Chains A and B, each alone.
Chain A
Amino acid sequence: MAGSKRRSRRPNRRRTAKGHAAVTMSIPEAKNVYQDHFSQAEKDWAHNGQAWSRKIREAAMSRFAELGFPTVREEEWKYTNVGPIAKIPFRPARYEIDSSISDLAARLTLGMPEAIRIVFVNGYYSAELSSLRRLPQGMKVSSLAAAIRQEAGWVESHLARHAGYQDHAFVALNTALMKDGAFVFFPEGSIVKEPIHLLFISTAGKGATVSHPRNLIVIGKGSEGTIVESYAGLEDEVYFTNAVTEIVLEEGAVGEHYKLQRESRRAFHIATLQACQDRSSSFSSHSIALGGALVRNEVNAVLDGEGGQCALNGLYLAGGEQHVDNHTRIDHVKPHCTSRELYKGVLDGKSRGVFNGKIYVHPSAWKSDARQTNKNLLLSQDAWVDTKPQLEIYNNDVKCSHGSTIGQLDQDSIFYLRSRGIGVEVARDLLTYAFAGDVISRLRVEAIRAQMDKLLIAKFQRDSQAKDGI
């Protein structure tokens, strides 16, 4: 039941993301670059003596060497050419901090200046920018590197157990080269209403750099927690963020995950969010993609216990020459699980969007209930989107549906608004905002919803004042 749609008024063409560093390499060389990064990093790991993590890293590195970077000949990468990433000899990013970074961090509070926040600069934990006071009883928020040192056994039971690197070159690369990221643990029975903000700031400094942020989030039995993962960078810098987040929801846990991607306009961002859900847990993901030149955002949920629920929502806004690829996969493994998915895209300029949503119902997953919707709004004649919903169903007692649309602003609606005195530009902005607002209205954390609203209004109404302080 797989099908795909593509839409543009122009004939099919291949485009590579533009405006990157001039030095490029052939792809076999690129693999060697990462091998070098690995050899350099190995020296550091020699000191901390984590045999298990070295084993995983080595396995992941050799898997990456086998896989190499994906090409558009592979079904999962058909619409996204990562050639530009493979061709740039990125250097490992270093911890650098200056006033432009601390200013940016100070602005990116998401309307929650008092929130518990852990900040990473170029992938490294920044104690001075983080704010980890007032942690609720029993709760842990720390850098993953510290957690590996201090709670090795515990981390070992989860890290790299959920986000598979066997079939995914970028997850393999992250697993091999991960340096740091956030570790968040909600102990059994804890109800934490306040969102925990994980902020990743990147800066290329003197040349293109790469970081591999790695996050591990565990929401204990019967607990409730909210995580906000946000990515930002200094304007116009070329860097590559290759992030992986694993989130584990134990029995009856309720987890809400927000991802806000606002990388620099010339950045590369590849990320996988892997959620693993036990019985009766509930997970919702809200993924908002605004920045980046070439973006691939994967959100995967495995409903691995009876009665689990997940809701994956997404909004991608692209303009200029941006390429934004959203990949989702929901595995219904156990019976009586429900999944809901709504992804919306607004594409302007010469941007290109991709939505690929797979729902995989395993033979054991009776009474699965899955619904997926993808809607795209093209604001210009040169914008393009490929949408590909995929249902794979191996049980016949299920309820599954999917739908996707690609359209333009409704002319009747524009005329109606104009006939009431509203200018044509404002009418278009208002309708675009209304289209996107559907996803925003699902954000449960009021502060974030208000911030997103402001951000959208700023984006669509070109009101520069609203852009500050978000």
Chain B
Amino acid sequence: MLEIRNLHAKVAETEILRGIDLTVNAGEVHAVMGPNGSGKSTLAHVLSGRENYQVTGGEVIYEGKNLLKMAPEERAREGIFLAFQYPVEIPGVNTTYFLKAALNAVRKHRGIEELDAMDFLALIKEKMKVVEMDQELLNRPVNEGFSGGEKKRNEIFQMAVLDPKLAILDETDSGLDIDALRVVANGVNVLRSKERAMIVITHYQRLLSYIVPDFVHVLFDGRIVKSGDKQLALELEDKGYGWIEAQIQKAQPAANS
């Protein structure tokens, strides 16, 4: 489904991604872990088409197409969903209106009939259950005045509504207490399917006890330096990111001299 080859990207003249290789197939859940500044969020933003990130090398093939050539909205319509680390508050734009516009843009692109108000409400009622979303929030402007937990739930709720093929969860666990984390993780688990792939970006192993990944990758200094299964996450939790750093230095003693 997704093939990232030797991806390089920079933000304001600083190279952040320095050769990422990653293959994700339908039905798989990949965790990308790494210390602060390793490039995790940059990877998420580059995949979703954020403008301030400049791709300087490599390629990303999504379902046989060049992803990097697509506008952000095109990527979304093609089935890519980014759950934001910091969801944006949009005063004056009603949540329901926004979701309906988004869903119908996606459906139109996929050649499915657009939903009318009645069918749309029926659909969101159903999807609200996924993250125990409070209906009252739907009448408010997008994310405005939402608590941290409500914002993250809203992200997963939107994911449930838009039904993406590839979901990228950017530090969805950050700032959540354990109860909110359980609700959000449970929502994500409900949405796991054979057709859908997920990239779960996180700093901590904690989330991965709830969303159990098929693969774990460690991102360090703009590269994936280690990959494994869920055991790798536990090992990291035990030994810390310093352990990875030490391993890299051992492997490349000449690089620093």
Q: From A420, which residue of chain B is reached at the shortest CB distance?
A: B102
User: How many B residues have CB within 8 A of the partner chain?
Assistant: 31
- Contact residues, B105-153 vs A (CB, 8 A): 105-106, 109, 141-142
User: Which B residues touch A431, using CB under 8 A?
Assistant: 90, 92-93
The answer to whether A416 and B87 have CB atoms under 8 Å apart is: yes
Cβ contact of A434, chosen from B76, B93, B106, B109, cutoff 8 A = B93
27 cross-chain CB contacts under 8 A? A410-B88, A412-B88, A413-B88, A417-B93, A417-B102, A418-B49, A418-B71, A418-B73, A418-B76, A419-B49, A419-B72, A419-B82, A420-B98, A420-B162, A421-B73, A421-B76, A421-B102, A422-B73, A422-B98, A422-B101, A424-B71, A426-B105, A427-B73, A430-B93, A433-B92, A437-B92, A438-B92
User: Which B residues touch A416, using CB under 8 A?
Assistant: 84, 87-88, 90, 142
The CA of A438 and the CA of B91, in the complex, are separated in Å by: 9
A sample of 18 more A-B contacts (CB under 8 A), given A416-B142, A417-B90, A431-B93, is A418-B71, A419-B73, A419-B76, A420-B98, A420-B102, A420-B158, A420-B162, A421-B102, A421-B106, A421-B162, A422-B73, A422-B105, A424-B71, A424-B73, A430-B98, A431-B92, A434-B93, A437-B92
- Indicate whether B229 reaches chain A with its CB closer than 8 angstroms: no
Convert B64-88 into 0s and 1s, putting 1 for each residue whose CB lies closer than 8 angstroms to a CB of A: 0000000111011100011010011
- Contact residues, A377-426 vs B (CB, 8 A): 410-413, 415-424, 426
In the complex, what's the smallest C-beta–C-beta distance from B140 to chain A, in angstroms? 13
User: Which A residues touch B141, using CB under 8 A?
Assistant: 434
Residues in chain A within 8 A of chain B (CB atoms): 410-413, 415-424, 426-427, 430-431, 433-435, 437-438
The answer to whether B91 and A434 have CB atoms under 8 Å apart is: yes
Given the contacts A421-B76, A421-B106, A426 and B90 also touching, CB distance less than 8 Å: no
User: Which A residues touch B51, using CB under 8 A?
Assistant: 411, 415
User: Which A residues touch B88, using CB under 8 A?
Assistant: 410, 412-413, 415-416
- Indicate whether B48 reaches chain A with its CB closer than 8 angstroms: yes
The CA of A420 and the CA of B79, in the complex, are separated in Å by: 10
User: Which B residues touch A412, using CB under 8 A?
Assistant: 88
Q: From B141, which residue of chain A is reached at the shortest CB distance?
A: A434
The answer to whether B92 and A434 have CB atoms under 8 Å apart is: yes
Q: From B142, which residue of chain A is reached at the shortest CB distance?
A: A416
The CA of A415 and the CA of B93, in the complex, are separated in Å by: 14
User: Which B residues touch A427, using CB under 8 A?
Assistant: 73
Residues in chain B within 8 A of chain A (CB atoms): 48-51, 71-73, 75-77, 81-82, 84, 87-88, 90-93, 98-99, 101-103, 105-106, 109, 141-142, 158, 162
Q: From B105, which residue of chain A is reached at the shortest CB distance?
A: A421
The CA of A422 and the CA of B108, in the complex, are separated in Å by: 11
Q: From A432, which residue of chain B is reached at the shortest CB distance?
A: B92
The CA of A421 and the CA of B106, in the complex, are separated in Å by: 6
In the complex, what's the smallest C-beta–C-beta distance from B11 to chain A, in angstroms? 14
Q: From A416, which residue of chain B is reached at the shortest CB distance?
A: B88
The answer to whether A415 and B90 have CB atoms under 8 Å apart is: no
User: Which A residues touch B101, using CB under 8 A?
Assistant: 422, 426, 430
User: Which B residues touch A438, using CB under 8 A?
Assistant: 91-92
Given the contacts A413-B88, A416-B87, A422 and B102 also touching, CB distance less than 8 Å: yes
Cβ contact of B48, chosen from A417, A419, A434, A437, cutoff 8 A = A419
The answer to whether A421 and B50 have CB atoms under 8 Å apart is: no
The answer to whether B102 and A434 have CB atoms under 8 Å apart is: no
In the complex, what's the smallest C-beta–C-beta distance from A132 to chain B, in angstroms? 39
User: Which B residues touch A410, using CB under 8 A?
Assistant: 88
Q: From A427, which residue of chain B is reached at the shortest CB distance?
A: B73
User: Which A residues touch B90, using CB under 8 A?
Assistant: 413, 416-417, 431, 434
The CA of A431 and the CA of B91, in the complex, are separated in Å by: 9
The CA of A438 and the CA of B82, in the complex, are separated in Å by: 29
The CA of A413 and the CA of B91, in the complex, are separated in Å by: 10
In the complex, what's the smallest C-beta–C-beta distance from A401 to chain B, in angstroms? 20
Most-contacted residue by chain B among A422, A433, A437 (CB, 10 A):
A422
User: Which B residues touch A411, using CB under 8 A?
Assistant: 51
Most-contacted residue by chain A among B92, B101, B141 (CB, 10 A):
B92
In the complex, what's the smallest C-beta–C-beta distance from A419 to chain B, in angstroms? 5
User: Which A residues touch B77, using CB under 8 A?
Assistant: 421
In the complex, what's the smallest C-beta–C-beta distance from A373 to chain B, in angstroms? 14
